[in-house]
Amino acid sequence: MQKNLISRSLALVGGALLSSALMAKPPNILVIMSDDVGWQNVSAYSHGVMGYNTPNIDRIAKEGIMFTDHYAQPSSTAGHAAFITGQYPIRSGLTTVGRPGSPLGIQAATPTLADVLKPLGYMNGQFGKNHLGDRNEHLPTVYGFDEFYGNLYQLNTEDTFEQVDYPKDPEFRKKFGTRGVLHCYATSTEDETTDPRFGKMGKQKCEDTGALSSKRMETVDDEFIAASVDFMKRSKKSDKPFFVWLNPSRMHMFTHLRPEHRYLAAKATSEDDLYGSGMVEHDMQVGQLLDDMKKMGVLDNTIIVYTTDNGPEHSAKNHGGTTPFRGEKMTTYEGGVRFPMMVRWPGHIPAGQVKTGIQANMDLFTTLAAAAGDSNVVEEMKTNRKQIIDGVNNIDYWTGKSKESKRDNFLYYHESTLRAVRINQWKVHFETSENYYDQYQKQKFPIMYNLRQDPFESFDSIRDRSDIIQTKQWINEPMQKLLGSHIKSLMDYPPVQKAATFDFSEVIKNMQNQKK
């Protein structure tokens, strides 16, 4: 009997230890970062006003949290950089889109979430658009990812070689064209092979699987999702948690749909609505991914984030998304930077929440690191790598332990210029641009909006402006303190590289200054 009691006691202890070990196992992480998806284009936010619905994306919000005041950046490269580095893009120099073969790209000194998760035992995979540089030294398998399968540029540059007037000389394409869809693995051995345009291969092996032609664009997201699922399966087989960063090509212009999906939204909107049909297809693909994860048995032990990189390119009409906010992609009005964001994590995040606190893509870096087991990443990066992390750890806000977001402000950069600031409900614009193509205009007096009273920044008459700027001057003090602290951090911890710009007047000015 004593022997049986001892055996049972050992079994209970062993079971408790096993249970504790299972509970201590870090969660898998899946971040789905769609491209140019507007606030209105996800029906959890628009409640069907667009005519079509996105039930699979909505499910993530329904079974978790959706955020109303979540910020990215005005453009894709900056939006991707803010998430993966946890920094305002001014620090990494990744403030605007780089051209093929450009030295502008993510640098070795810049921290990444993949670097943080690697020592915690994670297998890291990135699938879909990278957009953080196309030289070999910029590829994801250099900065913490075990595998990368995806493209490197904005969609509308990938198939330009198909244009009738594109130069037919193969040397032109070799010199100026884009790379194809790459499949890369990190290795432990140095490959000295050096491409004259894209540099040394280094500790990775890569295969160019071919150009991202307009025909391939119809189904390339199927490739990215299949690669993601395969990576998850291998991770599970290895008994390691995974971090998958999935960047679908949808909904960046131009929208190329397979014939059977061309009119998915036509009955709800019109036959011209390529964007709407693309969103319905995108939602179907998200649903398939969730189903595959359920079959694998990993769905409920995975933090699933659905978000996007920047606001919609509304100017693109049938190829562009929709937002109720003023502005669009490439502007620092709310329409350019505020967008859908939702998180599902059963057993940790209560379902059906709507959170109105300020949050940014940079905060995903810090919050996901904390969820994985590293809640001290800000200090670690400052001490060990001399890098400032701008993201805040919002894990308590997500899980309901805190009612308030740790972020109460946001700095609105476009490229390398600070255009606006938000503190709590108050937003102040120093320079404004109404749409994708308009030049930024300096304001004689900053324009101020109360985003709780006027989230669409529409109280815009001279009287509206005068009333608020004259009565709310006390906001200048906390704003100056915030900006002073930010500027000091840039002086104490300088950006790792100088940012580029698409503003050619600025390019010429910089060239002239260099000659002096």
> Tens digit of pLDDT for each residue in 442-476?
998 899 999 999 999 999 877 778 888 888 889 99
* Distance from C-alpha of 354 to C-alpha of 327, rounded to nearest angstrom: 24
Indicate if 337 and 353 belong to the same structural domain.
yes
The domain boundary residue, chosen from 341, 376, 408? 408
Note the pTM of the prediction, 2 decimals. Answer: 0.93
Domain for residue 13, yes or no?
A: no
The pLDDT of residue 388 is: 98
Indicate if 156 and 266 belong to the same structural domain.
yes
7: confidence class by pLDDT, cuts 50, 70, 90:
very low
pLDDT of 429 higher than 60: yes
Report the candidate in 450, 447, 445 with the shortest Cα–Cα distance to residue 420. 447
Give me the domain span that covers residue 472: 411-515
223-251: pLDDT as tens digits: 999 999 999 999 999 999 999 999 999 99
* Distance from C-alpha of 80 to C-alpha of 69, rounded to nearest angstrom: 18
The pLDDT of residue 463 is: 79
* Distance from C-alpha of 279 to C-alpha of 41, rounded to nearest angstrom: 7
The pLDDT of residue 1 is: 41
pLDDT, averaged across the chain: 92
Collapsed DSSP state (helix, strand, coil) of residue 305: strand
The number of distinct structural domains making up the chain is 2
pLDDT of 16 higher than 50: no
The pLDDT of residue 514 is: 55
CATH number at residue 332: 3.40.720.10
Indicate if 364 and 492 belong to the same structural domain.
no
The pLDDT of residue 503 is: 57
Structural contact between residues 276 and 265, judged by C-beta atoms closer than 8 angstroms: yes
Indicate if 73 and 90 belong to the same structural domain.
yes
The domain boundary residue, chosen from 408, 434, 464? 408
Indicate if 115 and 162 belong to the same structural domain.
yes
Structural contact between residues 302 and 293, judged by C-beta atoms closer than 8 angstroms: yes
The domain boundary residue, chosen from 347, 376, 408? 408
144-189: pLDDT as tens digits: 999 999 999 999 999 999 999 999 999 999 999 999 999 999 999 9
The pLDDT of residue 13 is: 38
The pLDDT > 90 percentage for the chain reads 85
Indicate if 161 and 241 belong to the same structural domain.
yes
